[in-house]
Structure 1
Amino acid sequence: MIKLIAIDIDGTLVDYNQSEISRPVKFAIRKARDLGIEIVLISGRNYYSMKKFVSELNLHGAALTINGGVVVNTDQEKIMRESIIPSDVVEKMLKILDQDQTPRIVFSGLALYVEPKYAQHETVRYLMKEKDNVLLVEDMFIHAKNNNVNKIMAMTQNEKIAEIIDKIKPISKGILNMERGLDNHVDIYPSSTSKGASLAYVAKQKGIDKHEVMAIGDAETDISMLLEAGVGVAMGNSLSSVCKHADFITKPVWEDGVAHAIETFILKDR
C-alpha cells in the first residue's frame, strides 16, 4: 500500500510551458491526500519558487527543494536538512566567476540571492515573479561567509560554460557536481545532493518503508528518487534514460500523467 507520493514539479506536475496544475491532476492528488497518503513535492526549484504549488494543493509536511539539497518543513517554513557547499569553496568559485563578470544566482536556504549588478538578467527577472523569491545583496562574499550556500547557478554563453567548469574542477575536490540544466546555465552543487537521498530521509522520518513510496518524475535528476521508491513512475514525456529506471511509464504531462499514475496505483481499488 502506497503511503507517500513524491512528485517532481516541472515536466511532471505542470508542463514546462505553463505553471498551472490541471484540474484532473489536482483532483487525483487531493483524493490521495484525503485517503491519508502523504504528498511531497520535490523539485530543482528553491522553496519560495515552489511555495505556490504547496499552497494550492494544501500540503503540510515536507517540501524537497533544490533537487533534494534542502528539505523544508512547510508548516513552519524551517529547514530540516540541507547539503552545503563549504564556504571556502564558495569564495573561490565567486572569484573565478568575477574574472569575467559572469552573472550568478546563489541558492541559500529558502530563497535566491543576487547582486544588484545582475538583477536585470533575464533569468533573474523571470525568477523575481515569485513573491519573496529573489533577494538582493550588495556583497555576495559577505553573504556567503554568513549564510549556508546550497547551490550556485552561473549564467553565460554555452561556449564559456565549458571554461567555467574547467576552472572550477580543480577546487571541487570531488565534493561538487556541475551540470548544465537550462541552456546557457550551469548548476554547481554539493555531490551529496540528490532527490533520492532526501526522499529516503523524509520517508524514514515518517516511518514509511521504501516499498510504500511512489515517486513520479521526468528528468535525469529524478532517477535517484525513482530508484529509492517502491514504485518509480516515469512520465510519458521522459527521456529514455529515465524510463529505463522506472517500474511504470504513465501518460505525458500534457495528458495528466500524474493523475493517471495515482488512479492506476491508488484510486482504482478504492
Structure 2
Amino acid sequence: MDLESYFISQFKTKVLGDDAAVIDELIYSKDAFFENVHFKREWMNYKDIAKRAMLVNLSDAVAMNAKPLYALLAVAMPKDISNYEAKELAKGFQEVAKNYGVKIIGGDTIANLKLDITITIVSKSKKPLFRKGLREGHLLAYTGELGKSAKELKRVLRGGKLHKRSKFRNIELRGSFISSTRDLLSCGMDISDGLFSELEKLSKLNKKGFRFLKKVPKSVGCSGEEYEMLVGFDVRHKKAIIQQAKRTKTPLHIFAKTQRGSYKNICKRHHFG
C-alpha cells in the first residue's frame, strides 16, 4: 500500500473512498494545488494558476455527477506577490466560478514561502456516480486523449514552455457526458493520478481484475494530471453510451473488460514519490 492510501485508510468511514464525500444530497470535496508539487510559478501566469486550481477541484464534483454550488478558498501567498498578481489570481478563481455557477463564499489567506492553494467545493446531486459498482463483464472506457499532460510536464521540466492549448492551462471537464449517461454507468472517477493508477483503485474497491481489449502504452496509462473520466458500464449499454459521447462531442475509448482477479499499477507514483 502506498503512503497516500495508507494515510487515508487510517480514517475509517463510509463516506471516504470516492472523489468526494456524499452526505444526503450534498457532496463535499477538497483538493490541494501546491507550488513545487503540482506546478511551478514560472510555468503559468497567476490567472491560469487559479483557473487550474479551481478546475482541478471542480473535477471531483463533475466526476460524481454533481452540480457545484459553493467554494471555500485557502490561499497561502508568498510575500513577493504584487497587488497586480494577487488581482490576477482572484480573477482566475472568479472566472471559473462564474462559468460553472459557483459562489465563492469565504476561506482564508496567509503569508507563505510559496504559493499553495486548497479549495473546498460543496455540490449537490440526486444521483451521484460512485467508484464502486463494477461487475464481471462490465466494460471500461476513458474520455479524451491521454498522454499529453506527461509530455507537457517533461517539456517544462527541461526548461521548455507550456503550449497555449496545454492541458495544464485548459482542463475540459466532461459534465455533459456524465450527466447524460449517469443512468447507464456502473461506476466512474476522474483521472488525476494516471489511468493505470485509477484502475488499481477500482480493482481494490470492486475486488475485480481487468482484461485489456487493446494495448494501452505506458505513455498513455501513466500520464497524470489529465482530469478526463474513467467509467464502467454493462455491455448492454455500449451503443447508448457511444451515442451520448458523440452527441456531447466527447472522445471515448473502450479499452478493457472486468473479470475475476486483481490489477496492479505498473507506473511510478504520481504524487507522494
Larger proportion of helix: 1
Larger proportion of strand: 2
Please say whether Structure 1 and Structure 2 have the same fold, judged by a TM-score greater than 0.5. Answer: no
